[in-house]
Structure 1
Amino acid sequence: MSTTVTRRAGCPDERPGGDAAEKWRYGILGALEVHHGSRPAAVERPRHRAVLTWLLLHADRPVTTEQLVDAVWGENPVATARGRVHAAVSELRKTLRTGGSQPLVSRTGGYCLLTREADVDVVRFRQGLDAARRLSCGGDPAGAASALREGLGLWRGTALAGLEAPFAEAARAHLEEERFAAQELLADLELSLGRHQELVPELGAVLDRYPTREGIAERLVLALYRSGRQTDALAVIRRVRLRLGEEYGLDPGRSIGDLESAVLRGDPALLGVPGAGTRETAAVAPGAPAGPPEQQPAGPLPGEGPAQAPARDFDPSLAPDMSPCSVALPFRPAQLPPTVADFAGRCAELRELQGLLRHAAGQPGECGLRVCAVTGPGGIGKTALALHAAHRTAAHFPDGQLHADLRGGDRAPAAPTEVLAAFLRALGVPAGAVPAEEEARAALYRSVLAHRRVLVVLDDARDVTQIRPLLPGSGRCAVVVTGRGKLAGLLGAHRLDLERLDDTEAHALFAGIVGRRRAAAEPEATAEVLTACAGLPLALRIAAARLTVRRHWTVAALAARLGDHVRTLDELHVDDLAVRTCFATSYRRLPAPDGSERTPDPARAFRLLGIAPGSMISLAAAAALFDLSPARTEAVLEQLVDAGLLESPAPGRYRLHELLRLFAAERAAAEESQAARRAAIGRVTDWYLSSRVEADALPFPGRPRTAPPAVPLTSYREDRLVADGGAGLRAAG
């Protein structure tokens, strides 16, 4: 659940009045607090506190009454829930009204809490985190640590403390994860500044709150070791191992085991400067003494004092012999775009993808790189699944997450050399040290990521040649690639080929957006909408979004509009989202024929499939439709399958998604002449009639035919397709 409270589109620029001293202050990083200037505002009733908290979590964005009902009562709202929400909002308005201004304003079907002129603790906390990352990247770790401490100082305990509402637990967990990430970053910065002893009690307190968080345990071990407390460092590791075993029956990850071994042998690498956000031990600067701290002579250690060069000054070209571990990340890149809060379905695929990523993070570095390819047609939910799994497993990649939109559907997809430059800068390599050549950039990229655990998400890949330069070399990294094509050349990748949602998943997605009660109130109409959307997540989201902003529409009204096939694709459009546009992107990517008869036109084949009778077609029937030989027909059909525009449920059998079929028929009407369309329909219709005549003759060889075949079957199929009556009927489609 997102808790961003910056201004969003949808609420006009309305500003509550009042000077800075009298502005509203809201706090959710602890128990809910509301102040106007120095005066507290009483919000005492639990329902009112839940409504205000939900509005703060979605501040500056319209919130519908239906969403508030679901937030406050969950799956079992009382009959008077809507009225109680209106009453709660009315009371909150009385509390928040000052000087004639009103921050809680009405919107169509709901409300919007304006906070642009207010002080919201979670906003200030996130601003501090962003500032810390910028300062760290700019070579000011002390300033970054100060910004983080200021942001963390806003926390007054557990987020949303004392709030009891269906949404509270998920929101609380999300905010606590953000707090934990900030504490990890602060620990990395303080370690880089040599403040090891001062950091020990702070990290000890954090580990008491999160006793099984291995990342904090590793940082505490490093701080203790550098403070000369080798025995205490080992005790922390043993305590974490015992806790994990008792509570979950698990062993610690390989990383903490390696750290324990390094402490036991007094590995000198433990005395180096760790890159911010990395759990790997950094290489020791040349000439650094070896052995545990208690055996070292007095004086500054590597990483202590002003003589230590900041990580941003690293120039790989000037230090070719340095270990890849010595390249310190100025901060952990966290580039994953937000995931959708109402993600639904794909339970099996999500579990599988998460398991693969967790396994990849824990495997030895010498193992092969784990690449997961999520493929499927446009609108099938590839990006949503990839990002949802990536966010859920991000903690297993403590050195950060990289993300790139490869724009595979654009006429000018992202060039690998540009993506590599952006990745290198995000990883802390100065712009002046980024090589000009793609091959050199790829080599440096692999070197910087060596011995680190980073998750790389490459979204909307056009083909394998665009992906290969962007693959890390380390087996402890993982890559998730999404693409409309099959990406068959991505050797060794684990593949998830997404298909349409089943009825249960489709209903969960649709009802989760429009509201479960609204969907349940019109079950038949809801079923008709799901049928019209044909299990395509993008279509379901658009249909649900249209109902959400049209509170007076019934589900049946939308079902009727979607049921008119002439306007179905027109209806599946909202703002910048459109099913037709999504399909057009895949259609434009089809290769053009080279003019020779040996290369059929896949775009034309796709168009003709849109006007063929039925969504299923056999290879032989398609050959008649295209007026091609079986071999050339199969080649062009498989080309459409690889492009994500056609399904192949069995060898020689092909299926066009219902919505894609409507789009293909549109393109046929626009790009094929009427004569060409009539000829194609005539060929496939004659083929179906002829195949049935021949199949009927097989069990009754002596009975005369009622009509001769209009089209010789041998023109479009192999003889074995009608070797018996059943096979002939199947071949007829």
Structure 2
Amino acid sequence: MGPLQVLSLDRPVTIGGPKQHVLLALLLARSGSTVPVPQIVDTLWPRRPPRTALAQIHSRISSLRHILGAETIKTVPSGYSLTPFPGAIDAQVFEEEVSRAIALRAAGRHGEATAVLRTCLSRWRGPSAFQHLEGEPFDREAGRLEELRLFALEHRIGADLETRDAAELVPELVDLVAAHPTHERFHHHLMLALDRSGRRSDALNAYLGLQRRLAAELGTDPAEDLQRLYHQLLSMDRGAPGPDRRQGRARPDRSGPVGPFANQLPPDTPDFIGRGRERRIVVDALTAGSAARPGTAARAVIVSGMTGVGKSALAVHAAHLARDSFPDGLLYIDGAAFPRTEEGLRGVLGRLLHGLGVPEEEQPDSWALRQDMYRSLVATRRVLVLIDNVTEADDLRAIIPTGGGSAVCVTTQVSQLAVDGAVRVPLDVLGADASRALLSSGLCPGRFDGQGRRLDEVLAVCDGLPAALRAVGNMLAARPHWSLEQVAAALTGARNPASRLSLPGRSLADAFDEACGRLTEDSRRALSALAALDVERLTPGPAGLLLGCSGTAAAALLDELTDRNLLRPVPAARPQEWAYAMHALLRAHLRAALPDALPNSAYRGNCGQFHLRYRNSAEVGIP
């Protein structure tokens, strides 16, 4: 957000020479991740590193620790990791504030969103420091920050269009379109501002200019929402005002029952944190691109991940952000709330038809006839359907919308859920910075001051799992007299920490049980056997010995558990080989139930052989 600068008490601090600047920039570009020593060497000395390179790196890291604080840069086996406290890096604060503003817009609080975005954008002091440095990490981070700045600017103008006189925005938008001649959202906003200022012909010409440029330079057409706005303006009476959502939502003509605009979505998370890249992928996939051919399935996005990783929160958040692209309704189904029977499917279709304006008394009794009615209505509308907690592809076939104007977003624990043409968005646990921000969200500033070691203990237990971090944050908010030391002691001293972490309506342990309950008996026993062993990762060979089967059979079983997001693949110690790891909270939960899960002596014999053969092997990871 400008030249590289370190501040202490709002005063600049001297960083050092050019290589010290480059080293700090590299750590910032990979903040929260490990920067391997070879990458540092290649970045500082791209042609011929000196023999004293490692000693120089060590000296420069020591100097940076003196400037930034000893806890800020951590040494790990393969390199160094910059883990600043929340609020220490302006770019991360900017990203969090943009997320907050977007949530405010989704809640209809456009004035507040504008104020937040104006404050954020005012902090930019010039081109990013990374733009002037050479190397892939710098190029990637510079591009990401510039996209984020334009994203914030786009949303600020969108919020201004809801609250200000559109004519005031035209000069700024004309400059932005000139600077970014293929940026479609800026053109969209310019068309709206011109039309609302009584300049419809200029608005239409702005579209035609973009259309010609995209065809000539990229061989594409403008996005569907721009095409729709153009035809909407073209078809209006010349004296009629353009689409202004301050005066009410413009709704397209449609056949079939007409009811009020349906929004069945759960409430958005007001302080949604992190997931900036995944959020943009989901929103873009739901809203961007040309309409599909009539009769084809709607655009689909699948958000997958383990229990508690935040699939539903991201999907709901993205759906609220995308709502303006679906003027005929936002429909929601919780797959876990309906039995997988014909009666359950009948209830699902009944809820969807009700959202489309069909009263219950006008709905057919048969689920098949309800399906026909649902597909006929959706084929002529633009709706977004969010289907939460899906476990099988069969649950989707009857309710995926038809018609190119609609879209569907699915959340599932099953990575291999089969939906043709879907954009897949897998979620992993959060990084260090996002974990700290989520844990402190909603708490008084300074709640963690002087408790760095205890904070690290709590973060280690949660291991980046958003549901666990939320649960700890809620615990601290409900008990302001508790110190972080008490929370850390309660979690680290518990045999099953997941049982101490409360989610809405149940504990994290209950959620784990529900996820494991969908497995076959053999798969459940295998998962428990893997959890019983005190190792962080396993390759198929050792897993086969432990489970009493061949390495090939063990690999198939590990892949099945990975598809259910109960294990995750991680790089093994040997090149081009993968191992499988289990989240620490899930492993502790399964170990707590081991006396009931593993009663036979065969497993104990396999475990003994495993320890004799693999205790010091690179094929397993010993904590």
Q: Same fold (TM over 0.5)?
A: yes
Equivalent residue for 1:568? 497
Change (3 A) 1:216 1:504: closer
Change (3 A) 1:160 1:470: closer
Equivalent residue for 1:672? 598
Equivalent residue for 2:581? 655
Change (3 A) 1:241 1:435: same
Equivalent residue for 1:257? 230
Change (3 A) 1:615 1:415: farther
After TM superposition, give the deviation of residue 391 of structure 1 in Å: 0.9
Unmatched tracts of structure 2, length 5 or more:
1-85, 89-106, 123-151, 171-185, 212-221, 239-247, 572-576
Check conservation: 1:354, 1:390, Cα contact below 8 A. Answer: yes
Change (3 A) 1:448 1:215: farther
Change (3 A) 1:567 1:661: closer
1:397 equivalenced with 2:326 (yes/no):
yes
Change (3 A) 1:411 1:356: closer
Distance 2:498 2:504 in 1: 14
After TM superposition, give the deviation of residue 507 of structure 1 in Å: 0.9
Change (3 A) 1:472 1:240: same
After TM superposition, give the deviation of residue 649 of structure 1 in Å: 2.7
Distance 1:731 1:337 in 2: 43
Distance 1:409 1:378 in 2: 19
Distance 1:516 1:372 in 2: 37
TM-score in terms of structure 1 length: 0.53
Equivalent residue for 1:358? 287
1:238 equivalenced with 2:204 (yes/no):
yes
After TM superposition, give the deviation of residue 441 of structure 1 in Å: 2.1
Change (3 A) 1:617 1:163: closer
Check conservation: 1:621, 1:732, Cα contact below 8 A. Answer: no
Check conservation: 1:503, 1:535, Cα contact below 8 A. Answer: yes
Check conservation: 2:330, 2:384, Cα contact below 8 A. Answer: yes
Distance 2:369 2:339 in 1: 26
Q: Which stretch of the first structure deviates more once superposed, 489-498 or 645-654? A: 645-654
Count of residue correspondences? 445
Change (3 A) 1:582 1:179: farther
After TM superposition, give the deviation of residue 162 of structure 1 in Å: 11
After TM superposition, give the deviation of residue 474 of structure 1 in Å: 1.2
Distance 1:498 1:161 in 2: 30
1:582 equivalenced with 2:511 (yes/no):
yes
Equivalent residue for 2:4? none
SS at match of 2:593: helix
Asked which structure has the greater RCO (Cα within 8 Å, sep 6+), the reply is 2
After TM superposition, give the deviation of residue 462 of structure 1 in Å: 1.8
Equivalent residue for 1:470? 399
SS at match of 2:336: coil
Change (3 A) 1:178 1:331: farther
Q: Which amino acid aligns with 1:642?
A: D
Q: How does 1:417-432 map to 2 (within 5 A)?
A: 417-432=346-361
Change (3 A) 1:357 1:623: same
Q: Which amino acid aligns with 1:426?
A: G
Which one has a bigger Cα radius of gyration?
1
Change (3 A) 1:682 1:210: farther
Which string of whole-angstrom CA distances, capped at 9 and with x for unpartnered residues, describes residues 361-406 of structure 1?
Answer: x545557621000011111100011111111111122222111111
Change (3 A) 1:691 1:645: closer
Distance 1:623 1:488 in 2: 26
SS at match of 1:513: coil
Equivalent residue for 2:563? 642
Distance 1:559 1:365 in 2: 56
1:556 equivalenced with 2:556 (yes/no):
no
1:480 equivalenced with 2:409 (yes/no):
yes
Change (3 A) 1:456 1:542: same
Which string of whole-angstrom CA distances, capped at 9 and with x for unpartnered residues, describes residues 101-158 of structure 1?
Answer: xxxxxxxxxxxxxxxxxxxxxxxxx9xx9xxxxxxxxxxxxxxxxxxxxxxxxx9x96
After TM superposition, give the deviation of residue 667 of structure 1 in Å: 2.4
Distance 2:587 2:234 in 1: 61
Distance 1:162 1:575 in 2: 32
After TM superposition, give the deviation of residue 435 of structure 1 in Å: 2.7
Q: Which amino acid aligns with 1:555?
A: L
Check conservation: 1:372, 1:494, Cα contact below 8 A. Answer: yes
Change (3 A) 1:429 1:338: same
After TM superposition, give the deviation of residue 179 of structure 1 in Å: 12
Which string of whole-angstrom CA distances, capped at 9 and with x for unpartnered residues, describes residues 243-292 of structure 1?
Answer: 999xxxx9871102233555699xxxxxxxxxx96643x3xxxxxxxxxx
Equivalent residue for 2:142? none
Q: Which amino acid aligns with 2:310?
A: G
Change (3 A) 1:566 1:402: same
Unmatched tracts of structure 1, length 5 or more:
1-73, 77-125, 130-154, 184-204, 225-231, 266-275, 283-324, 593-600, 694-727
Equivalent residue for 2:448? 519
